[in-house]
């Protein structure tokens, strides 16, 4: 077909090569898993680079939350949101967590489209060392996106008067964002394999997204809420991510054992909150196993 290479060269290039096609696939090597995960992650980033609109929207939206909600409560009596906490400072953690949460909730969409367009079949006929690399790639991608969004929100909030947490504070925020994104991404990926199509997945995202925002402490403290909503908000994983970040924003002298979250029933230290988020992740990762296995078997 091409004149630039000799026939014998073409022949050897097309002949079976047992050193690759006859490779021993019995031992699943970590190197293979990393290679395929990186390749799949790279694909997602190439897509992002060529179709950046979702990332741009994902940065503009939280910025608008900050400006609009900030303006909505700008004349609220000072001290209303706790000891000399401005609403900008109060709001920033809510927007950080909510943005990461929304992004993670959408994590399953690319996989759902791969299922619908048949690209997933290309992955499933390949001798992947583990099909969890497909899940891992999506998770790495979504976590990276969330970090980009979080960084933008932290800077924008600083400009809007929320102040700037120190290096330790930023690391703690990164850890919390990581934990909430991990669990929610896993949930969304599980749904992407369980639901019949993208319409259904979008419907689930639609009914989950905003209600979980309003049933958390993102926009108002627990003490403002009706009793029943306080119960729900105290169980909402988002609250466990928002409250420690809010404490960090309000207290430069925070520590691992600081009590960062108060509910009418229990008080949680920073380390206890991290444990709750870890438990949340473990629960979801466990719960999606059957969904993934059904497709990957």
Partner 1 sequence: MAAAVLIENLQKSYGDVQAVKDISFTVQPGEIFGLLGPNGAGKTTTIRCLCTLAKPNSGKIEVGGIDAIASPKAARQRLGYVTQGVAIDKVLTGRELLKLQAALYHLPKKIIGDRTQQLIEILGLDEYANKKIGTYSGGILKRLDLAAGLLHQPEVLVLDEPTVGLDIESRMVVWEFLQELRSAGTTVLITSHYLEEIDALADRLAIIDKGVVIAEGKPSELKDKLGGDRVTLRIREFTSDDEANKAKQILESLSFVEEVIINAVQGNSLNLIVKSGQSSLSKIEQSLEEVELPTFSLAQSRPSLDDVYLAATGQTIMDAQIAASSTRDLKKEKKQMMK
Total residues in contact with partner 1, by rule CB under 8 A: 49
Residue 295: which of 150, 67, 131 has the closest Cα? 131
Closer residue to partner 1 (CB): 40 or 173:
40
Question: Of 193 and 280, which has the nearer Cβ to partner 1?
Answer: 193
Q: Which listed range, 21-29, 69-77, 165-173, 176-184, lies at the site for partner 1 (CB under 8 A)?
A: 21-29
* b/e per residue 10-20 (b: at least 16 CB within 10 A): eeeeeeeeeee
111 lies in the site for partner 1, by CB under 8 A: no
Residue owning tokens 């608008």: 64
Task: Give how far Cα 172 sits from Cα of 21, 86, 176, 179, Å.
Answer: 46, 21, 6, 11
How far apart CA 14 and CA 8 sit, in angstroms, is 10
List CB contacts of 177: < 8 A, sequence separation 6 or more.
96, 97, 100, 146, 147, 150, 241
For partner 1, give the closer residue by CB, 37 or 236.
37
Report helix, strand or coil for 267: strand
Among the listed ranges 5-13, 83-91, 183-191, 280-288, the one in contact with partner 1 (CB under 8 A) is 5-13
Of 6, 50, 228, 265, the one binding partner 1 (CB under 8 A) is 50
When binding is defined by CB under 8 A, the residue of 54, 61, 72, 120 that contacts partner 1 is 120
Minimum distance from residue 117 beta carbon to partner 1 (Å) = 7
- Of the pair 35, 74, the CB lying nearest partner 1 is at 35
Name which position in 60, 64, 76, 117 contacts partner 1 (CB under 8 A): 117
Partners of 268 in beta bridges: 261
Alpha-carbon torsion (218, 223, 226, 229), positive or negative? positive
Cβ atoms of 292 and 193 closer than 8 Å: yes
Where in 178-257 does DSSP place strands (E)? Answer: none
**C-beta of 46 vs 175, nearer to partner 1:** 46
In the region spanning residues 165 to 194, those forming contacts with partner 1, defined by CB under 8 A, are none
User: With binding defined as CB under 8 A, does residue 124 bind partner 1?
Assistant: yes
Rule CB under 8 A: choose which of 123, 160, 204, 231 binds partner 1: 123
Say if residues 147 and 249 touch (Cβ distance below 8 Å): no
Which residues here bind partner 1, judged by CB under 8 A? 1-2, 4-5, 10-18, 20-23, 25-26, 32, 35-36, 38-40, 42-43, 46-47, 50-51, 115-129, 196, 295, 297
């Amino acid at each position: 077909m091409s004149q630039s290479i000799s026939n014998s060269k073409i022949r050897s290039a097309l002949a079976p090569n047992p050193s690759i096609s006859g490779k021993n696939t019995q031992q699943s090597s970590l190197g293979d898993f990393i290679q395929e995960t990186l390749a799949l992650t790279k694909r997602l980033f190439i897509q992002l680079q060529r179709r950046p609109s979702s990332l741009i929207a994902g940065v503009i939206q939280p910025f608008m939350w900050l400006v609009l909600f900030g303006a909505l409560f700008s004349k609220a009596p000072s001290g209303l949101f706790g000891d000399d906490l401005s609403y900008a400072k109060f709001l920033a953690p809510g927007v950080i967590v909510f943005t990461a949460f929304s992004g993670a909730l959408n994590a399953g969409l690319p996989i759902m489209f791969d299922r619908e367009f048949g690209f997933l079949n290309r992955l499933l006929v390949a001798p992947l060392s583990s099909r969890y690399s497909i899940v891992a790639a999506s998770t790495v991608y979504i976590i990276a996106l969330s970090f980009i969004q979080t960084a933008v929100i932290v800077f924008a909030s600083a400009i809007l008067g929320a102040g700037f947490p120190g290096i330790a504070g930023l690391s703690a925020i990164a850890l919390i964002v990581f934990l909430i994104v991990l669990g929610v991404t896993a949930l969304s990926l599980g749904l992407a394999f369980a639901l019949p199509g993208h319409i259904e997945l979008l419907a689930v995202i639609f009914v989950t997204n905003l209600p979980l925002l309003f049933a958390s402490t993102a926009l108002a403290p627990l003490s403002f809420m009706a009793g029943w909503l306080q119960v729900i908000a105290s169980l909402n994983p988002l609250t466990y991510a928002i409250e420690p970040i809010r404490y960090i924003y309000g207290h430069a002298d925070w520590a691992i054992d600081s009590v960062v979250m108060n509910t009418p029933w229990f008080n949680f230290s920073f380390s206890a909150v991290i444990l709750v988020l870890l438990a949340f992740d473990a629960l979801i990762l466990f719960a999606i196993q059957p969904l993934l296995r059904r497709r990957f078997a």
